Amino acid sequence: MKLILASASPRRHEILSIAGLEHDIRPSDADESTVIYTPGQPDAYVIELAIRKAEAVSAGEGEIVLSADTIVYVPRKDEILGKPKDREDAVRMLTLLSGNTHKVITGVCIADASGMREAFAVTSDVHFRDLSGEEIAEYIDRCRPYDKAGAYGIQEGACHFVDCITGDYYNIVGLPISAVYTKLRPYFVKNSVAD
């Protein structure tokens, strides 16, 4: 079996490589704008995004397609934070996250040429300490997080914002590797050792 990552994300590629999962990259060109968010259902929304991405990258014979989409969700506002449109939007997002707990939810879809499709979501809770306006401005100017949901990358300069995490750290980076590895393992491990 050949694993196809339906994403151009360097972070997802790196996580799969760290886990020892050889893969090819075939970025998806799915139209995400047609997926509509139903209030109070962030899991369903992000799973649908992952499914659309997998469908846009058809699996060939002997291939398994892995797609993922990650969102930042603020439960108290029932708001999904995507990638910031501009600096003002990034400031707004980080100010909203400051001193509060938010959820990072990754939808994952695994599909093959036979029509097998498995989709699921993994959630991690992230609590930010109180951030000053100066810290937020400095971070945005230094790291330019315009390509990141919620306007931050935990692995790229925002690690010191985080007081605590509940859940999979790699999910926050962009791919819940423990859950993904568990789902993919049966396809790639030919022999198992009996106890």
Residue 123 within any structural domain of the chain: yes
121 falls within a domain = yes
Phi, psi of 165 (to 5 degrees): -130, 140
CATH classification of the domain holding 67: 3.90.950.10
Residue 1: the pLDDT is 87
- C-alpha distances (whole Å) from 58 to each of 9, 54, 76 are 18, 7, 38
In angstroms, the CA 67 to CA 28 distance is 8
Q: What is the pLDDT of residue 33?
A: 87
193 inside domain: no
Among residues 24, 29, 43, 69, the one annotated as catalytic is 69
The per-residue pLDDT for 192 is 40
- Long-range contacts of the stretch 79-84 (C-beta < 8 A, 24+): 80/37, 80/42, 80/45, 81/149, 81/150, 81/151, 82/149, 83/146, 83/147, 83/148, 83/149, 83/151, 84/145, 84/146, 84/151
Residue 151 lies in a domain: yes
Catalytic site includes residue 69: yes
Task: Say if 178 falls within a structural domain.
Answer: yes
Show pLDDT as tens, one digit a residue, over the chain (195 residues).
899 999 999 999 999 999 999 999 999 999 988 999 999 999 999 999 999 999 999 888 999 999 999 999 999 999 999 899 999 999 999 999 999 999 999 999 999 999 889 999 999 999 999 999 999 999 999 999 999 999 999 998 899 999 999 999 999 999 999 999 999 988 876 544 444
Q: Which range marks the domain in which residue 98 is found?
A: 2-188
Write down the pLDDT at residue 187: 83
Residue 89 lies in a domain: yes
pLDDT at 190: 54
Whether residue 195 lies inside any domain: the answer is no
Question: The pTM is what?
Answer: 0.91
pLDDT value at position 189?
A: 65
pLDDT at 193: 43
Q: Residue 169: inside a domain, yes or no?
A: yes
> How many domains, the chain?
1
Which of these, 101, 94, 165, 103, lies nearest to 135 by C-alpha position? 94
- Full DSSP string of the chain: -EEEE----HHHHHHHHHTT---EE------GGGPPPPTT-HHHHHHHHHHHHHHHS---TTEEEEEEEEEEEETTTTEEE-S-SSHHHHHHHHHHHTTSEEEEEEEEEEEETTS-EEEEEEEEEEEEPP--HHHHHHHHHHH--TTSGGG--TTTT-GGGEEEEES-HHHHHT--HHHHHHHHHHHH-------
